[in-house]
Structure 1
């Protein structure tokens, strides 16, 4: 059975204020809130999901917003940058849009031919917008603050920063089936498919031997999830990792997908998530993200859980 991933499924990060987080991703980045739920393992905090109209795999950015979370430290052993695709020719519009919201954005000079804007969210998480002519089989959200012709199409890439890249490179190539596409300035680029085209198909490994180790807290990525099309492929992938001596969790039910977790040699937490059943599993597509949804095993505690959560006002 082919256990090569279909690309990135989602990226999950830590935030502090849930309202500030929602305002930024809905208004500054123009994404749709596709699910308002809780951290299944710690239901005293939200788990907020943003994506395209339906929350298609490869478009999803999620957050655990802990109001009292201390600032994290971005560094080695982390996914340090999440890059979103926007249509080719859109970066001028984005620069003006972000400036009007007092969001500072810069164009880094060290990225060669790639045209990107770099910015930070309210907690300091590093985000890039990359102009891309790639075809994206996604459905950009047209109900928010960003016109469809400029809207985020999905996650283009993630960057892993490592003090020692050898083990990470070996896992990406040998155990996860990624293809090394090139290297420039200590940045090794891997593709999850043969072309590097489409949503979530790029993983950059940045070699920074002298970088300080990162600290996962507000403003940092918690984990990166890769796509398995279904449960049997996920189970086969898990078995292969286990046979290779990788410490991998049991399969966990996340309602909208199932997951297994493991760490790559540099310390980044990775996940394998199934494409389905999807975010319309427990509410209609037109109503995604409008109300608090809980998994069946937490429904009996709904009143207590809701009472502990901060008020969150969403207009979409």
Structure 2
């Protein structure tokens, strides 16, 4: 049994309103769910994705208003990739970044794919990666009502980039527990460092990879606004999620057990370098409680929070959509 690829990536923001403006107005992603952090209902949890929030397209943010500055380092998800259709789209984005004064780098080729690295206003480390040569997991469906032409729009999540001090424990979990396969290596962009190692699962391709970088020269990351909280991998259904729970227990990896998130079911655990992984089911999805035409327009709460809606809404700063 194999994981199907990247399900979602969850990151931290100190300002939900500014975050919403950047990811919808500049990056052209759709806010498919405006809800709350189910572990702390006093703050927002925002989901940006393709047209209907297909698995593998969700970049989510927990709002932590007092979050401090991120100090990059190891034991981290150090960059998140966003997929675009082809190399031509990167040219469009380079001009768009200039127009919107987005901090970005030049287009380069890394591991056989063209990419452009950039940062959001809080320093979130992001990459656009071209699907020009992708033969694996298909991308999502761009939001047709967004500000970016569909031929250039973001179509999903690409490889998650992990940075660690010692790669061996992480590799053991990826390959022996989660059944990823090492398929490639490419030179680090930092002179004198080891090659970045590429691990793939399921159908492979840009939507199903983890890139592992070894940096013994760096301290442990101090997370804050602009850092990544966790990466989630796709599981078909709850039955398979139970299988993975038992597999983690057999490997003596402490885990959360199955967690109800309403839009999907989840299982959380930390690999030995301290990076938080989640396994999440593909369904039921974000249209389970909202019409596809009106996703993200109002505060959505799972049924088990509805009795507290008035109290929850009173504690949230209004977010105009």
| TM-score between both structures, scaled by the size of structure 2 | 0.93
Write out per-residue CA displacement over residues 237-267 of structure 1, whole angstroms, 9 at most, x where no aligned residue. 1111111100011211101001110011111
2:141 aligned residue (128, 139, 142):
139
- Note if contact 1:107-1:115 (Cα within 8 Å) is conserved in structure 2: no
Q: How do 1:37-52 residues align onto structure 2 when only pairs under 5 Å count?
A: 37-52=35-50
Match of 1:154, SS state, is: strand
Counterpart selection for 1:59 from 50, 57, 79: 57
CA deviations 1:168-226 (Å, max 9, x no partner) are 011111110111011233200011135x325x211100011111101222110000000
Corresponding position of 2:220 = 213
- The CA distance in 1 between the partners of 2:76 and 2:123, in whole Å, is 14
Higher deviation after alignment, 177-186 or 230-239: 177-186
Q: Is the contact between residue 7 and residue 58 of structure 2 (CA under 8 Å) also seen in structure 1?
A: yes
Contact 1:179/1:193, CA 8 A, preserved across alignment: no
Structure 2, unmatched stretches of 5+, are: 188-194
1:274 is displaced (CA, Å) by 0.4
Structure 1 residue 110 displacement after superposition: 7.4
Contact 2:83 2:139 in 1 (8 A): no
Secondary structure at 2:70 match in 1: coil
Runs of 4+ in 1 over 6 A off after TM superposition: none
- The residue aligned with 1:282 is 289
How far apart, CA to CA, are the structure 2 residues paired with 1:231 and 1:288? 24
**Distance in 2, Cα, partners of 1:104 & 1:120:** 6
Counterpart among 194, 197, 215 of residue 205 in structure 2: 197
Q: CA deviation at 1:49?
A: 0.3
State the TM-score, normalized to the length of structure 1: 0.95
Tell me the distance in 1 between the aligned counterparts of 2:23 and 2:184.
Answer: 32
State the Cα distance separating 1:109 from its structure 2 match: 5.2
1:86 to 2:84 alignment = yes
What residue is the counterpart of 2:278 in the other structure? 271
Does the 8 Å CA contact 1:77/1:163 hold for their aligned counterparts?
Answer: yes
Q: What does residue 126 of structure 1 align with? A: 125
Instruction: Give unmatched runs, 5+ long, in structure 1.
Output: none
SS at match of 1:23: helix
Whole-angstrom distance in 2 between the partners of 1:118 and 1:137: 19
What corresponds to 2:113 in structure 1?
114
Deviation per CA, 1:73-122: give whole Å up to 9, x if none.
22200111001111211111101111111112112657354211111112
Q: Does 1:232 align with 2:234?
A: no
Equivalent residues, number: 310
**Could you say which residue in structure 2 is the equivalent of 1:305?**
312
Equivalent position SS for 2:267 = strand
- Shift in Å, 1:230: 0.1
* Structure 2 counterpart of 1:188: 197
TM-superposed deviation, 1:137? 4.5
Instruction: Indicate if the aligned counterparts of 1:77 and 1:160 stay in contact, CA closer than 8 A.
Output: yes
Cα distance in structure 1, aligned partners of 2:314 and 2:276: 31
CA RMSD of aligned residues (A): 1.4
